[in-house]
């Protein structure tokens, strides 16, 4: 990523997770983004990957003693997770920047400068 990029003025219309909600019209627009078919498909894909991972834990318990365990299922889960990460990052990247080059993982990781992925917390239900 080069220094000629400019962040959009209202990044919260692009990334709903960062929006905290103060005005009805903005809330409505964010709700429509969250409820779009594309976002529903991404969420569904994530839930399928999660379900498959939980299913593998029935056979291989996630603990230090099993760190060296290998399986085609684990490889598939990692590949599917990476594909989903790439889809989401491409979508965000192209909405934030007008850039036409072929993207790679370094471009996606640099999104953290603006989105603070590493500060996100995931809660299990």
pLDDT at res. 1: 45
String of DSSP letters for 65-90: GGTT---HHHHHHHHHHHHHHHHHHH
More confident residue, 19 or 26: 26
**Mutual orientation of helices 72-96 and 37-56 as an angle, nearest 10°?**
160
Question: Mean pLDDT over all residues of the chain?
Answer: 77
pTM value surpassing 0.75: no
> Mind listing the pLDDT tens digit for each residue in 36-92?
788 888 888 999 999 999 999 889 888 889 888 888 999 999 999 999 988 888 888
Find the mean pLDDT for residues 101-123. 79
């Amino acid at each position: 990523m080069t220094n000629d990029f400019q962040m959009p003025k209202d990044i919260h219309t692009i990334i709903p997770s960062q929006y905290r909600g103060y005005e009805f019209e903005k809330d409505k627009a964010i709700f429509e983004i969250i409820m779009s078919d594309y976002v529903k498909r991404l969420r569904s894909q994530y839930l399928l990957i999660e379900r498959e991972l939980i299913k593998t834990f029935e056979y291989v318990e996630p603990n230090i003693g099993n760190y060296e365990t290998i399986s085609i299922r684990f490889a598939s889960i990692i590949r599917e997770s990476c594909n989903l990460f790439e889809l989401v990052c491409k979508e965000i990247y192209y909405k934030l920047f007008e850039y036409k080059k072929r993207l790679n993982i370094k471009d996606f990781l640099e999104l953290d400068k603006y989105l603070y992925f590493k500060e996100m917390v995931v809660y299990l239900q």
